[in-house]
Structure 1
Amino acid sequence: MDDARLQAKTGRTGLQWIEYLEKVSGKDINNIAHKEMALLVIDAGIEPWWAQGVTISVEQQIGRRVVGQTCNGTYSASASKTLNGDWLELFDKFVAFMSENYELIPIPAAGEPRTTESEKWRYWKIDLEDGSKVSINCSPKSAKDGTPKGSFGVSHDKLESLESRDELKSFWQELLGRFAKTVTVTK
């Protein structure tokens, strides 16, 4: 995350966060574990989601990880798409679309896809033979003009390389785009 956005959302730049974390922990930044760092940021009054963003940004600045790399050393590819329509209808259409297209995923499946749900989220998930996992979530998104929208987010985790992350990020962006072309908007 760039420093301007980090400062706008958290009140500090990456360098200021490094200085703060070293001061409150009494440790060199390279000796503060990911979880401890995130908890210190939360203790500073930052929401948990943004605390993770701060932690990841700091870890990237100090060379502990690169963009797309998780704290355990694997990589994660992500993609997102927002579509007009009722989010529950969109999710049902997505499940039908994926039942016909999940074999396009460039890594063979290690089982059948599954769906789960909560009040505010729907998930389509699949485990793959290389040990990676895909979770695609769908949630409602409010629009300024009142048009109902559904937001899809792909998280393809436990990838072994930056190259596979980049390839799979492109794949998921393309697949979400292909799905978007199949959707008929209902009002």
Structure 2
Amino acid sequence: MTRNKSFKQRVRARMDRTGESYSSARAHLLARADGAPASASLTRSDTASEGVRAGAGHTASTAAMDTRIPDGSVRERTGRDYAGWFALLDAWGATGRTHTEIAAWLVQEHDVPDWWAQTVTVAYEQARGLRVPGQKKDGFAVSASKTVDVPVERLFAAFTEADRRERWLPGGDLSVRTATEPRRLTADFGHAGRLTVRFTAKGESRAVVAFEHSKLADAEAAEAAKAFWRQRLARLKDLLEKEGT
């Protein structure tokens, strides 16, 4: 408890000094503790922030195009590809409309199924700089996964048992909300959002952990979280596999 409190004080001290978000400051301190260069996550965060300040232009649009549902699938399900819908939405004046208004217009005026209306709306908002990739109604979200050569029960325990968790997530203010052993858990992560974690057995001695870190404050926090979890999951895998089964 004392160690966790001391770490939180260091995080808040850095926040006061640098103006960073809680998750960004925390990621920097943990990166330094592992000997990783804090400048790496800082560079990614600064790049993301520039994208937001510039209206999420080229960087955001390119990222969105790399991850969205393929054009052919959209055309098959809705009758138009992205370019066709974007042109129609531009002519309608969608850049001045809310997400709800755009999706409703697609459903009501063009008979687009609700799920596909949401898909087209999000893609349009990203392409026009109205929404940054990873942004949701309640903030930003990132996801990560890792395959670890241990039984799924041990992987689950590494998240739920405080002493085990401290070894790979030092100072981690993780408060479990719900847990279904050894398949799923949700948890609050201090002042830095919500975790939804799923565990899948891949045989007797291999398992996959996959999770989403949501309710992040902004694009900078999302970039910091992405770098942070990449480091932490690598540490988790290394520790558990060295211990053996």
Per the shorter chain, which TM-score range? 0.5 to 0.7
- CA 1:89–1:169: 2 relative to 1, 3 Å: same
Identify the structure with the greater helix proportion: 2
- CA 1:178–1:82: 2 relative to 1, 3 Å: same
- CA 1:121–1:52: 2 relative to 1, 3 Å: farther
Q: Does the alignment pair 1:17 with 2:82?
A: no
TM-score by length of 1: 0.64
Structure 2 counterpart of 1:67, from 110, 120, 133: 133
Q: Does the alignment pair 1:79 with 2:144?
A: yes
Looking at structure 2, the residues matched to 5 and 151 of structure 1 have their Cα atoms a distance apart, in angstroms, of: 24
Quick one: which amino acid aligns to residue 94 of structure 1?
F
Max radius of gyration: which structure? Answer: 2
Looking at structure 1, the residues matched to 158 and 65 of structure 2 have their Cα atoms a distance apart, in angstroms, of: 36
TM-score by length of 2: 0.52
Q: Does the alignment pair 1:175 with 2:232?
A: yes
Looking at structure 2, the residues matched to 120 and 36 of structure 1 have their Cα atoms a distance apart, in angstroms, of: 41
Quick one: which amino acid aligns to residue 98 of structure 1?
R
**Counterpart in the other structure of 1:56:** 122
CA contact (8 A) 2:143 2:226 kept: yes
Looking at structure 2, the residues matched to 104 and 125 of structure 1 have their Cα atoms a distance apart, in angstroms, of: 15
Q: Does the alignment pair 1:98 with 2:165?
A: yes
- CA 1:147–1:165: 2 relative to 1, 3 Å: same
CA contact (8 A) 2:160 2:176 kept: no
Looking at structure 1, the residues matched to 92 and 183 of structure 2 have their Cα atoms a distance apart, in angstroms, of: 39
User: Can you give the 5+ residue segments of structure 2 that lack an aligned partner in the other structure?
Assistant: 1-63
CA contact (8 A) 2:153 2:182 kept: no
Higher relative contact order (CA 8 A, sep 6+): 2
Q: Per the alignment, in what secondary structure is the counterpart of residue 90 of structure 1?
A: helix
Equivalent pairs counted in the alignment come to: 169
Of the structure 1 ranges 11-20 and 162-171, higher mean CA displacement relative to structure 2 is found in 11-20
Quick one: which amino acid aligns to residue 167 of structure 1?
A
| Ranges of 4+ aligned residues in structure 1 off by more than 6 Å | none
Cα deviation code 1:103-142 (max 9, x no counterpart): 544xxx4xx611414599511412423xx31314114277
User: Can you give the 5+ residue segments of structure 1 that lack an aligned partner in the other structure?
Assistant: none
Looking at structure 2, the residues matched to 177 and 51 of structure 1 have their Cα atoms a distance apart, in angstroms, of: 38
Cα deviation code 1:130-162 (max 9, x no counterpart): xx313141142779xx98632321314232x32
Quick one: which amino acid aligns to residue 123 of structure 1?
L
- CA 1:120–1:53: 2 relative to 1, 3 Å: farther
Superposition RMSD in Å: 3.9
